[in-house]
Structure 1
Amino acid sequence: MLWPMFFLTLAFCGIAVLGVLAVRVGLEVRRFSRAVGDSSERITRAAENLERAAMPLAGRAAASAGNRPGDERDGQRGS
């Protein structure tokens, strides 16, 4: 009767360890997904800032080339 109780205790401890590890993995996944979401928002804000900063430069480049932005179609200059 000693060996079956020993194996039953060992199995219970193994399942308990797996449960604790599963909870830890779940918490880390939640933390990682928050970090990915925050990073995505920061990248979106940076892209918007870059687009806003590039608009005056694009306007100046178009003015120095002699045409306005949006005048080009299919890679050819409008006449």
Structure 2
Amino acid sequence: MLWPMFFLVLAFCGIAVLGVLSVRVALEVRRLSRAVADGSERIARAGEDLERAAGPLARRAARAGAAGRS
């Protein structure tokens, strides 16, 4: 009777360890998804800033090209 009880306790400990590890993985996944979302927002903001900065430059280049053709 000792060995079945020992294996039952061992199985319970194994399931408990797997449960703790799954909670840790879930927390890390949540943290990683927040970091990815933050990076995505930063990239979007940088793209918008680049568009805003490129607008006047493109207009200046278009005027210079039109002046060179006439």
TM-score by length of 1: 0.82
4+ residue runs over 4 A deviation: none
1:72 is matched with none
Alignment gaps of 5+ in structure 2: none
Q: Relative to total residues, which structure has the larger helix share, 1 or 2?
A: 2
- CA RMSD for the aligned pairs? 1.0
Q: Distance in 2 between matches of 1:40 and 1:29?
A: 16
The question of 1:5 aligning with 2:11 is answered: no
- Alpha-carbon separation, structure 1, partners of 2:17 and 2:58: 60
Q: What is the number of residues matched between the two proteins?
A: 67
RCO higher in structure (CA 8 A, sep ≥6)? 1
- TM-score (norm. length: structure 2): 0.93
**Overall identity of the aligned pairs, in %:** 76
